[in-house]
Amino acid sequence: MDWQSFPDLNSAPAEVMFRLPASHGRTAALDDYRQRQGLCLLFLSDWEGPRGRSQLETLAAAREALRQRDAAPLAVASIDQPAAAALAAALSRPLLVLADADGQMRQRYLSLAPSIAPDAAFLFLLDRWGAPLAVGPAADDWIDEALTWFDLALARCPE
């Protein structure tokens, strides 16, 4: 599956809105980031296995590269808040993990990306207004692909 782009919406559709418990013990919401930062959301499928752990470490390691592109990394897993806190604490670098215990956030984002398999790990990129930028698989050089999408977004709208 290749990356899919979205038309320039300049607004956040209802499907991307979220407010979830996070690994730091507070609630995280799209509104915490809107008009300030884009988001690189990693939706995990196998958060307990070595592949999921590697994907989390890769995302955490990209924090500075994303910050330079006015974007923040977030991981989303179908777990409860205590499990999200334990998962984040086990990483070698800081990363905020959102607890999507019932999987509703994942399902809403998947509704915007019908080419993604329901059980696959994927990335969903939002611009600083919360509008969908691109979606793609968490495979191969996914972080480089995500950084390229954010570079393109900044080139189109540098302010």
pLDDT of residue 85: 97
Three-state SS for 16? helix
Please write the tens of the pLDDT for every residue from 7-37: 766 666 788 999 999 999 999 999 999 889 9
Distance of CA 16 to the CA centre of its chain: 11
Binned at pLDDT 50, 70 and 90, residue 158 comes out as low
* CATH code of the region 4-156: 3.40.30.10
Domain ranges across the chain: 4-156
Whether the model pTM is above 0.85: yes
Whole-angstrom distance, CA of residue 66 vs CA of residue 73: 7
Question: Average pLDDT, stretch 86-106?
Answer: 96
Nearest to 58 by CA among 71, 81, 40: 40
Question: Average pLDDT, stretch 57-69?
Answer: 95
Using an 8 Å Cβ cutoff, are 89 and 110 in contact? Answer: no
